[in-house]
Amino acid sequence: MYHSKSTKYKALLFIAPFLACFLIFWLAPVLYGIWISLNDYKLSMGNLGFVGLENYKTIFDTGSVYHTQFMNALKNTFVFMAISVPPLVLISLGLALLIDNLPSKLKVFFRTIFFLSYAISVTAVSAIFLWLFNANGGFVNNLLMTMNITNSPVNWLTEQPYAWFVVLISTVWWTIGFNMLLFVNALDEVDGALYEAADLDGANSFKKFLYVTLPEIRNVAFFVIITTVIASFNLYGQTMLITNGGPARSTTSLIMNINHTVFSGNQLGIGSAMAIVMGVIMTVVTGLQYWANLKINSDGPKRKRKGRSKKSEDPALVNAPLPYQVDGKETMKK
């Protein structure tokens, strides 16, 4: 019914407002950004002329300092991605499951607590962790030393792997609420009847999670993973303000390096080229994730069908109208 030709144009109507905003405020600036990356563009002096792919050559020229810094930052960014994505996804899922199993009165309270830190700006988050983990008499070191866990202060910010640890823990603390909220939303969507059916099958909690919950929240989990990978790739404020890229540039991230090239180094052209290379790398990484997701989808249809079949076999679900349906009909009649 809604595949007719007239709805095709209607569809365009629905998309048009977003499309307009996207074209003007994203695509046009990006195209211009690509143009800048093909020019010798200084932030202060403006365009000094077309140089073709020269800026890109600079980034890939092994003798160039821009190359050394870019590759170092790329490596650091991948390190951070590797150490941050698993905890950011798993801990947030764990928190969401925990909240989902709490009595409903307490749900709101704990959901608010775990989301609170997301409301704070990165500047403040960094200031907090910078002072908490100050090696010389900071709160954490004092705590560890009074509890006799360590007898000499840990150089949290000036030694690896501690510096990564602080960056990681501040990131987890700061951003976990967002992922958690998405999982809470998703768990909320899971039909209670499915759990009841699993209970009748005698499934334990772990099996219920594996065979009922997980298939139902797959789409959201995929979304969370993709956005977390992208967010980790965009690491900036925490390393900028907590470790200042140190010790010895080991936490300098790509965005930090690009911003530095543009703002302090004045090289808007080279910086734009770096950002576009970064975007391409990121697109490839995201594409791989999509491909992996598709592959898992096609490799594991059995499990999925099993989950679905349970749903349709449940007589209560097949025969009774869905609660939303009832609601939808009633509200529309008004």
Residues sharing a CB contact under 8 Å with residue 60, sequence separation 6 or more, in sequence order: 67
**DSSP tag of 322:** P
214 near other proteins, rule: CB under 8 A:
no
3-class secondary structure, 67: helix
Tell me whether residue 218 is exposed, middle or buried, using C-beta atoms within 10 angstroms of its C-beta: 0 to 12, 13 to 18, 19 or more: middle
Rounded CA separation 249/77 (Å): 12
Contacts with other proteins in 93-132 (CB under 8 A)? Answer: 95, 98-99, 101-103, 106-108, 110-124, 127-132
24 near other proteins, rule: CB under 8 A:
yes
Instruction: List, in sequence order, every residue forming a beta bridge with 254; answer none if it has no partner.
Output: none
User: Of the ranges 26-34, 80-88, 206-214, 296-304, which one interacts with other proteins (CB under 8 A)?
Assistant: 26-34
139 near other proteins, rule: CB under 8 A:
yes
CB-based contact 155:135 (threshold 8 Å):
yes
User: In whole angstroms, how close is the CB of 175 to other proteins at the nearest point?
Assistant: 10
Binding residue for other proteins, selected from 75, 159, 210, 313, defined by CB under 8 A: 159
At 172, list the tokens: 């987890």
292 near other proteins, rule: CB under 8 A:
no
* Total residues binding other proteins (CB under 8 A): 143
85 near other proteins, rule: CB under 8 A:
no
Binding residue for other proteins, selected from 92, 166, 168, 245, defined by CB under 8 A: 245
Contacts with other proteins in 217-236 (CB under 8 A)? Answer: 218-220, 222-223, 226-227, 230, 233-234
User: In whole angstroms, how close is the CB of 18 to other proteins at the nearest point?
Assistant: 4
Half-sphere exposure of 146 (CA within 13 A, CB side): 6
Rounded CA separation 162/87 (Å): 17
56 near other proteins, rule: CB under 8 A:
no
